[in-house]
Amino acid sequence: MSDDNLLQVQELIESAESALKTAQNLMRSMTGISDTNHERNTIRASGMSTAASSISGKVVEGVFDGQNMVDANGETYPVPANYASKSKLVEGDGMKLTITDEGKFIYKQISPIDRKTAVGVLIQEDGQYKILADGKVYRVLLASVTFYRAEVGDQITILLPTEGEAEWGAIEAVIPRHLAEAAAKAAVDGGAVEEDGEMSPAVEEEEK
């Protein structure tokens, strides 16, 4: 991709972000609320006290919204997707961000929210990976899908906050589709599933 194309893409992104911010401000002025999840995380973040840090720099506390950290002022801070995926951060988790004097961002999970698990299927909708579980669709980070090498159709175990309605799920484990299908067939046919995923047929003993 040429530099001109990259510049055009960057300008489009900035224009879209500006338009979204304007729309949110307009909705806030009309209704008083622009994003219920964002407002909920902002309120939760306002109840957190900033703890001392051994690392010099600015310390900000907030709540993970499934993709970013939201502080008490409603400001968002981008959380590295790889960190969120490996740490299995759940929407609503309390976090602390230290911005060092060198400009480095250091995140730490400080107040995990109560969790529950759900099992669903990985699907693609509107070009995004999502989990269909318990009749609801949850968004998941692309980094989590690639980290676990999940594919559409795989059964996925996700972590969700115990209370409230979540939009995001954190991938905890992946059951590849071929293993899930083999297990289902084994349950129906009475066969056994070998370690390599192959199913051995059930053998009926003859009556003596």
pLDDT averages per 10-residue partition of the chain, 208 residues: 65 68 64 57 58 65 94 92 94 94 91 95 93 95 93 95 93 85 70 47 47
- Residue 181: partners with Cβ closer than 8 Å, 6 or more residues away: none
For the four alpha carbons of 80, 81, 82 and 83, in that order, the dihedral sign comes to positive
- Reading the block at residue 137, the tokens are 């669709």
Q: Specify the pLDDT at position 66.
A: 94
Please tell me the distance from the alpha carbon of residue 208 to that of residue 194, in angstroms, as a whole number. Answer: 29
- The confidence score (pLDDT) of residue 26 equals 67
pLDDT value of position 201 = 45
CB 41 within 8 A of CB 92: yes
- Name the one residue in this structure whose structure tokens are 């949110």: 24
pLDDT of residue 198: 46
> Please, which contacts does 104-108 make with residues 24 or more away whose CB atoms are closer than 8 Å?
105/77, 106/55, 107/69, 107/79, 107/80, 107/83
Question: Over the Cα atoms of the chain, what is R_g?
Answer: 22
Q: What is the reported pLDDT for 49?
A: 54
Domain ranges, ordered by start, for the chain: 1-33, 35-111, 115-178
pLDDT at 38: 59
Provide the CATH topology of domain 35-111. Answer: OB fold (Dihydrolipoamide Acetyltransferase, E2P) (2.40.50)
Contact 82, 72 (CB under 8 A): no
- pTM more than 0.75: no
User: Fold match between 35-111 and 115-178?
Assistant: yes
Please tell me the predicted confidence (pLDDT) of residue 173.
94
Six-digit token string for 149: 């090498």
Q: Closest Cα to residue 72, out of 82, 83, 61?
A: 61
Residues 74 and 181: their CA atoms lie apart, in Å, by 45
Give the C-alpha separation, 29 to 38, whole Å.
16
Instruction: Mention the CATH class of domain 115-178.
Output: mainly beta
Cα–Cα dist 6/11, whole Å: 9
Asked if 116 and 164 touch (Cβ cutoff 8 Å), the reply is: no
Could you tell me the two tokens for 24?
């949110």
